[in-house]
C-alpha cells in the first residue's frame, strides 16, 4: 500500500494512460500506414494476403500490450505485468464467446480496458506484500479470473456509454457540420499537444465519418503550427520532426507556457472550418492520427476522380494548415503577451 501512495492521483493516471497510448500507436500504426497500399494486392495472391492479414492483426493485441506497458510504468515484475495483461484482455471485450467459440472482434472498448487495468494495478499493489513467493499463483488468478470477470460484466455498461457519446458527436456533425468540425478539430489540435492520446480518445468514444476526419485534420493542424513556430528558434531538423508529428517532445514547453496552445487551437479551428465544407472522413481507429496516416485512410472513403481527391487531401492536410499556421504565426508575433519565440525552444539535451 505504501508503494501505491507514493503516486499522486494525476501521476498514476498519466503513467497508466501513457502506457495505453503507446500500445495503441504501436499496434495500429502498421495497419494504418501499410494496409491501404496493399489492399488491392491482397486480392491477387496468398503472399500479399498474408502480409495484409499480419499487418492488420496488431489491432487485436492492444488490450494485452496496454496492460503490459501500463504495468511497466510502475516497475512491475514480469508476473505482475502478465497478470495485468490477463485482466485487460478479459475485460476489453475484444474477444466474444458465442456457441462454444471465441471470436476476436477488434481491440474492444478502450475505456473499459483502462478501467480494468487501473483496478488490476491497484489490486497488485495491495496484495503483493501478502502473496510473496506465491505471486505466480495468486496474482494471475486474482487478475485473470476475478478482475477479468468484473471487466466482462462492466463492459456492457461502459461500452454503451462510449458508443452513445460517439453517436452523439457523429450525429451532430451531420446536423451542424460547421460548428462541430471546428470544435472537434480545435479540441484534437490541443489534445495531441498534451500527454493525452488522441488515438485512444478517438477510438474510445468511437467518432468516425466526418467527425473522424475533423479530428484527424485537427491533429495535423497542430503539427503544422508547431513546425512553423519552431523553425526560427530550433532550425530545420526539429521543425521537420514536428511536421511529421513529434509534438510530444514539447510537452514540457506546453506545461510551462500554456499560452502556446492558443495559436495551435486557432489553426485547428480554421482547419476544421475549412473541413466542414470539404468533409473528409475517417474511421475511429485512424481519427486520432494526423498526417500521414490521416490522409492515407481518408482517401479510402472518397469517391470520384482520383486526381481531385488527392488535391482535396493535399489542401486540407498540408497546404491550408501550413498557410493558416503562417498567418496565425505572423499575427501572434505582434502579441508579445501571448506569443514569445523562446517558448518554442526545444532543449534536445533533456
pTM attached to this predicted model: 0.73
Highest mean pLDDT among 48-62, 93-107, 259-273: 259-273
Confidence of residue 195 (pLDDT cuts 50, 70, 90): low
The predicted pLDDT at position 224 comes to: 94
CA pair distance 177, 213, nearest whole angstrom = 11
- CA dihedral for 85, 87, 90, 93, sign (positive or negative): negative
Q: Helix, strand, or coil here: 97? A: strand
Whether residue 66 contacts residue 24, with contact meaning beta carbons closer than 8 Å, is answered with yes
The predicted pLDDT at position 57 comes to: 86
The larger pLDDT score, comparing residue 273 to residue 57, is at 273
Whether residue 131 contacts residue 123, with contact meaning beta carbons closer than 8 Å, is answered with no
DSSP output for 100-113: TEEEE-SS--HHHH
CA nearest to 112, candidates 166, 152, 62: 152
**What are the pLDDT digits (tens) for 218-252?**
999 999 999 999 988 888 888 888 888 778 778 77
Residue range 48-55: mean pLDDT, rounded: 88
User: How would you class 194 by CB atoms within 10 Å of its CB: exposed for 0-12, middle for 13-18, buried for 19 or more?
Assistant: middle
Examine the pLDDT at 216 and tell me if it is beyond 90.
Answer: yes
Confidence of residue 37 (pLDDT cuts 50, 70, 90): confident
Amino acid at each position: 500500500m505504501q508503494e501505491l501512495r507514493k503516486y499522486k492521483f494525476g501521476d498514476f493516471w498519466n503513467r497508466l494512460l501513457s502506457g495505453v497510448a503507446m500500445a495503441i500507436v504501436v499496434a495500429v500504426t502498421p495497419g494504418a500506414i501499410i494496409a491501404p497500399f496493399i489492399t488491392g494486392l491482397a486480392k491477387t495472391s496468398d503472399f500479399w494476403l498474408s502480409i495484409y492479414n499480419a499487418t492488420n492483426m496488431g489491432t487485436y493485441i492492444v488490450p494485452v500490450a496496454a496492460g503490459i506497458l501500463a504495468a511497466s510504468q510502475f516497475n512491475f515484475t514480469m508476473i505482475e505485468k502478465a497478470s495485468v495483461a490477463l485482466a485487460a484482455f478479459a475485460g476489453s471485450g475484444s474477444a466474444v464467446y458465442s456457441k462454444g467459440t471465441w471470436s476476436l472482434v477488434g481491440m474492444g472498448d478502450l475505456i473499459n480496458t483502462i478501467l480494468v487495468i487501473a483496478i488490476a494495478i491497484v489490486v497488485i499493489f495491495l496484495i503483493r506484500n501478502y502473496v510473496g513467493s506465491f505471486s505466480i499463483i495468486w496474482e494471475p488468478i486474482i487478475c485473470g479470473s476475478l478482475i477479468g470477470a468484473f471487466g466482462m460484466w462492466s463492459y456492457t455498461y461502459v461500452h454503451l456509454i462510449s458508443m452513445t457519446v460517439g453517436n452523439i458527436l457523429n450525429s451532430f456533425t451531420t446536423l451542424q457540420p460547421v460548428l462541430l468540425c471546428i470544435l472537434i478539430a480545435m479540441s484534437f489540435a490541443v489534445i495531441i499537444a498534451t500527454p493525452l492520446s488522441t488515438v485512444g480518445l478517438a477510438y474510445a468514444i468511437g467518432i468516425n465519418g466526418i467527425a473522424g476526419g475533423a479530428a484527424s485534420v485537427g491533429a495535423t493542424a497542430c503539427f503544422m503550427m508547431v513546425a512553423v513556430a519552431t523553425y526560427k528558434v530550433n532550425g530545420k531538423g526539429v521543425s521537420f520532426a514536428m511536421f511529421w508529428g513529434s509534438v510530444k517532445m514539447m510537452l514540457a514547453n506546453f506545461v510551462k507556457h500554456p499560452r502556446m496552445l492558443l495559436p495551435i487551437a486557432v489553426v485547428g479551428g480554421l482547419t476544421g472550418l475549412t473541413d466542414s465544407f470539404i468533409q473528409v472522413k475517417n474511421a475511429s481507429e485512424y481519427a486520432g492520427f494526423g498526417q500521414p496516416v490521416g490522409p492515407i485512410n481518408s482517401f479510402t472513403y472518397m469517391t470520384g476522380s482520383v486526381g481531385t481527391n488527392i488535391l482535396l487531401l493535399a489542401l486540407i492536410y498540408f497546404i491550408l494548415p501550413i498557410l493558416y499556421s503562417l498567418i496565425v504565426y505572423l499575427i501572434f508575433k505582434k502579441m508579445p503577451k501571448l506569443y514569445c519565440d523562446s517558448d518554442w525552444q526545444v532543449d534536445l539535451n533533456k
